[in-house]
Structure 1
Amino acid sequence: MRVGEGAVAEDMVVADGLHRTYGSGQTAVHALRGVSFTVRRGELVALKGRSGSGKTTLLNLVGGLDAPDAGTVRIDGTDPAALGEEERLALRRDRIGFVFQSFGLIPILTAAENVGVPMRLRKVPAREREARVELLLSLVGLAGHAAQRPTELSGGQQQRVAIARALANRPLLLIADEPTGQLDADTGLAVMELLRAVVRSEHVTALVATHDPQLLTLADRVLELRDGVVTSDDARGTAPAAPDGSGGPGGVKTPSR
């Protein structure tokens, strides 16, 4: 159920008391220990923390890829753990976009075909699908690479294709797990700048896990996880996107790198 039957909640993500443990007894790993936070619509929130701090586990719970042992998480007013499998699949397909460190592109498909896959799954008409693919590849700076396959693209270009694919079904929430982890520093910064730009232009809320201090400066807020607990919530002072999509004062341009 959505909040207020048609009303639009100010918060896109509401996590309350999330616990997740793997294993049992003396070998149990307590990945999350009572994590609570909210993400407002239009925010780009970064998760930071060392390996094993619980970042990926938290993203999996928010994205409906896993369920908490205790606590709740709501996405646009919906609790993924309370849904049946088909409804949960529909939630992930229609309202959540995923970007992974490993890109996850299908090698035999072109960039355009990779971006179009989520829309094929929704049976979007071909003309509408092709127009959306063209728009998204232009948005991520790859208009001239539509016919190239992943092996013909650089790592940064592959990640741009992955971002375009994540946006294909116009998700409300974008989840990215170390999206720059396989990229060099300059390319990683360009990809993070791109994520920030598309959050503004596509009116998307984003939750991004990263360990790079330089990339954290581009977020609206930074949540720090240590041993499965949120230890800080740092507002960077950047406003969410303006209602007209301009990105607030001065607007936001898609980076050319």
Structure 2
Amino acid sequence: MTRSTGAGSGTAVVDVPGSGPMVRVENLHRSYGSGAAAVHALRGVSFEVPRGELVALKGRSGSGKTTLLNLVGGLDTADEGRVSVDGTDLAGLGESGLLELRRDRIGFVFQSFGLIPILSAAENVGVPMRLRKADPREREERVGLLLSLVGLADHAAQRPGELSGGQQQRVAIARALANRPSLLIADEPTGQLDAETGLAVMELLRAVVRAEGLTALVATHDAQLLGLADRVLELADGEIVRE
């Protein structure tokens, strides 16, 4: 559902939260540097991600995948164009609004895992809930549920250094789900894993999208993993060249 706002000759169409596409990207441009040395990372990218879909971003290194994910996740700002997530136009949010969006409505999974070495798997998963000052009992129950969901209930007390790469990425996925986000953003989540482990992690992402009712936007260059997506968007030189 959408509603119209504005007066006079201009009318803006605004998504109502909880309806419409989870992600809407319109004419997105992003460049770094200036003049002849400028790098045009994105050149007029537009697409939508319906709720409940897992959409994969395909493209070689430098095609614009990470830049696009950073813009959708509110980690960077576009030079031109519009990004809305769950009906919220990111351009209308200040830094505190973007922080709240990233904390409460978007989960991030990165290639490098990003776990805190001195914390156990359970403590790592619980970090986002501590930042939100969630009730300790609620936090413990949610952590236990998520570790079971990713198949690591028996590894809750182990630290990242005691886990394999695939297990660490599973902990990172559980952590990304801690605050019940609407959108999961994953940037090359299998990039540091062997083919068999990477496929298992991608299958897990597919499963948690279904189990948690999530929408997911996943960047990957692995052709084997693309078949698990509902839809694939291919980027080249900052443009979508195939869908």
User: Can you give the 5+ residue segments of structure 1 that lack an aligned partner in the other structure?
Assistant: 234-257
| 1:22 aligned residue | 32
Q: Secondary structure in 1 aligned to 2:88? A: coil
Report the Cα offset of residue 7 of structure 1. Answer: 5.8
Aligned mates of 2:49, 2:151 — CA distance in 1: 28
Counterpart selection for 1:44 from 37, 54, 58: 54
CA displacement 1:49-105 (0-9 Å, x = unmatched): 000000000000000000100000100011223211111100000000000000000
Report the Cα offset of residue 228 of structure 1. Answer: 0.2
Aligned mates of 1:10, 1:137 — CA distance in 2: 31
TM-score w.r.t. the length of structure 2 is: 0.94
Q: Secondary structure in 1 aligned to 2:43? A: strand
Counterpart selection for 2:206 from 196, 203, 227: 196
Aligned mates of 1:91, 1:8 — CA distance in 2: 14
| 1:212 aligned residue | 222
Q: Secondary structure in 1 aligned to 2:145? A: helix
Counterpart selection for 1:54 from 54, 61, 64: 64
- 1:172-251 equivalences under 5 Å are 172-233=182-243
Aligned mates of 1:97, 1:38 — CA distance in 2: 18
CA RMSD across the alignment: 1.2
Q: What number of residue pairs does the alignment pair up?
A: 232
Task: Identify which range, 7-16 or 58-67, moves more after superposition.
Answer: 7-16
Give the fraction of aligned pairs with identical amino acids, expressed as a percent. Answer: 78
Counterpart selection for 1:80 from 90, 102, 113: 90
Counterpart selection for 1:167 from 159, 177, 186: 177
Aligned mates of 1:204, 1:230 — CA distance in 2: 24
Report the Cα offset of residue 8 of structure 1. Answer: 2.8
CA displacement 1:219-243 (0-9 Å, x = unmatched): 000000000000111xxxxxxxxxx
Q: Secondary structure in 2 aligned to 1:11? A: coil
Q: Is the 8 A contact 2:54 2:218 kept in 1?
A: yes
| 2:22 aligned residue | 12
Aligned mates of 1:70, 1:10 — CA distance in 2: 22
Q: Is the 8 A contact 1:64 1:81 kept in 2?
A: no
| 2:43 aligned residue | 33
- Asked if 1:132 corresponds to 2:142, the answer is yes
Aligned mates of 2:2, 2:86 — CA distance in 1: 7
Q: CA 1:3–1:64 in 2, change beyond 3 Å: closer, same or farther?
A: farther
Q: Is the 8 A contact 2:23 2:85 kept in 1?
A: yes
Q: Is the 8 A contact 2:110 2:189 kept in 1?
A: yes
Report the Cα offset of residue 9 of structure 1. Answer: 1.8
Q: Is the 8 A contact 1:111 1:145 kept in 2?
A: yes
Q: CA 1:3–1:113 in 2, change beyond 3 Å: closer, same or farther?
A: farther
| 2:158 aligned residue | 148
Q: CA 1:9–1:109 in 2, change beyond 3 Å: closer, same or farther?
A: same
Aligned mates of 2:106, 2:16 — CA distance in 1: 19
Aligned mates of 1:34, 1:134 — CA distance in 2: 43
Aligned mates of 2:219, 2:208 — CA distance in 1: 17
Q: Is the 8 A contact 2:42 2:239 kept in 1?
A: yes
